[in-house]
Amino acid sequence: MSIEQERKTQMKSTILVYNGEGSQGESRKFFHEALVEVVDPRYHNIKYISPEEIKEGSWTWNCCLIAFGGGYDLGFIKALGSQGTQTIRQYVEQGGTYLGFCAGAYWACNYIEFDKGGPLEVVGERFLKFYPGSCIGPAFPGFGYKNKVGVQAVPVTYKGLAFSSYLHGGGFFSPPEVPSKAEPSVSNSSHQQNVIGVSEEYTVTAQNCKMKTLSSTNDAVLSQGEEQDLHSRPGPPQNRLCSPKSPAHTNNLVNTTTGLCMKREDRTVTDQRTYDVLGAFTTLSGSPAVFVKCYVGQGRALLSGVHIEYPVVLLDENHPILKPVMPSLHRSEEARDFVFRDILLQAHVKLKKARSLL
């Protein structure tokens, strides 16, 4: 590698995908291949990260995004312990981004209720606490860990865009408990949600939980990619690279150790909103949230109960369980690609040029 190539590599930020206990193999593979297709390699390196590396902590200096996908979150807990969990939490609070699909989304919530009362029950408090409420699932019945049992193409919305998405054990996001008027005010009273593209009012159902056995399911992975212009489409504009020498914008957070510049969320100091609902399960009672964006210190966490990181081309058309859902997934592929890209843009990831959704 030449000196110039080495310099350019060092300037890139890194996207990290968890590869350790609790992570499901096919899920990592699909996520990685999906990211290879959309992420711009001129700006980002894509790597796997082990539990040991997470706990060691040096990865945080140039990490753009850390991602956890499908599998079972009790594996994450066992492998990472309190040290790894706290390292990830501090990274996000200081301006980083966490991306969680399925098991990675369950783990990032305040509480988890998975198959409560059933043979696969996992119920308990979680300690990343990016989302202040509970993740409850499976959102649809029939889930099994082996051989894709329970995979469905479920109707969802994202910022008003309706499509069908791959679901295998993922949950919905239940809002945090709010104290009654008779109770003294506590920190949860400040939790507010901002619903984007979803008009439903959400009822409060989060409750105290106790952990029992195995956790949720499903997949995730990443990789490389020219910049996408989404200004003419729904969703946020793309992130612009910023310089530590640029004018003192209040929206920019400069890492004084590395000179890397990260965009602050557009919130005022007095804004107490802790999450936005980006989309919903449209056929479940009350249309509960399926996509949420959480504000954590100077950073953010983007969570999804469905697998919008699964390109339909990677799925086995002849698998007996997948075959019935493939027509719906094919019809929704352009929408899936748009949503996946839009979520990555909110994570400040630079992307390749995309096909137009329209």
The full DSSP string for 8-71 is HHHHSEEEEEE-STTB-HHHHHHHHHHHHHHB-TTTEEEEEE-HHHHHH-GGGGGEEEEEE-SB
Residue 12 — pLDDT band, cuts 50, 70, 90?
Answer: confident
* Domain that residue 21 falls in: 3-139+171-311+337-346
The tally of domains found in the chain comes to: 1
Residue 321 included in any domain: no
Residue 19 included in any domain: yes
Residue 188 included in any domain: yes
Residue 72 included in any domain: yes
Q: Mean pLDDT across the stretch 341-345?
A: 97
Residue 318 included in any domain: no
Q: How high does pLDDT run on average in the chain?
A: 78
| Residues 179-233: tens digit of each pLDDT | 655 444 333 333 345 555 332 322 222 233 232 222 233 333 223 233 333 333 3
| Residues 177-191: tens digit of each pLDDT | 876 554 443 333 333
Query: In the chain, pLDDT over 90 holds for what percent of residues?
Result: 66
| Residues 69-124: tens digit of each pLDDT | 999 999 999 999 999 999 999 999 999 999 999 999 999 999 999 999 999 999 99
| Residues 155-170: tens digit of each pLDDT | 999 999 999 999 999 9
Report whether pLDDT(150) > 70.
Answer: yes
Residue 90 included in any domain: yes
Report whether pLDDT(237) > 50.
Answer: no
Report whether pLDDT(239) > 60.
Answer: no
Q: Which pLDDT belongs to residue 30? A: 93
Q: Which pLDDT belongs to residue 183? A: 44
Residue 285 included in any domain: yes
Question: Residue 273 carries which side chain, given as an amino acid letter?
Answer: R
Of 42, 39, 160, 169, the C-alpha closest to 101 is: 169
pTM strictly above 0.85: no
Higher pLDDT residue, 237 or 327? 327
Strand 289-296, strand 299-304: pairing: antiparallel
Report whether pLDDT(299) > 60.
Answer: yes
Question: Residue 219 carries which side chain, given as an amino acid letter?
Answer: D
Of 303, 219, 232, 158, the C-alpha closest to 26 is: 219
Report whether pLDDT(255) > 70.
Answer: no
Cβ-proximal residues to 114 (8 Å cutoff; 6+ apart), any chain: 106, 120, 121, 122, 123, 136, 137, 138, 169, 171, 215, 216
Query: In the chain, pLDDT over 70 holds for what percent of residues?
Result: 69
Q: Which pLDDT belongs to residue 314? A: 95
CA 325 to chain centroid, in Å, comes to: 23
Q: Mean pLDDT across the stretch 18-27?
A: 94
Residue 352 included in any domain: no
Environment class of 99 (CB within 10 Å of its CB; exposed 0-12, middle 13-18, buried 19+): buried
